[in-house]
Amino acid sequence: MNIEKFLIITIDSTHLVMKVEKLLLESNLEVRIIPLPGELKASCGLSIKANIEDSSTILNILKNNKIEESLYSFYLCEKNGFKKHFSTFNF
């Protein structure tokens, strides 16, 4: 069975999730807002799903737009069928 790998970005507020999604879409990145996976904790019930290959670009966009690092976290999701494993994403 194929293991699907992708990036999950948790963000502290719904407003900021929508702002970040807009910034990333304006940069022609393939992202979408999804419900926060139950295995992860954050103040907001939404998160952003993105391609791992775009991680450095996403981080640069967040920094260039002066979004505080304390407001977001990056996780690697490895999905195998219905099983998901999350780990902190290290750059």
Give 4-42 pLDDT, tens digit per residue. Answer: 999 999 999 999 999 999 999 999 999 999 999 999 988
Is the full-model pTM beyond 0.75? Answer: yes
Distant-in-sequence contacts of 51-58, Cβ < 8 A, 24+ apart: 51/6, 51/7, 52/5, 52/6, 52/7, 52/76, 52/89, 54/7, 54/29, 54/30, 55/7, 55/89, 55/91, 56/91, 57/27, 57/29, 58/7, 58/9, 58/24, 58/29, 58/31
**CATH class, 3-88 region:** alpha beta
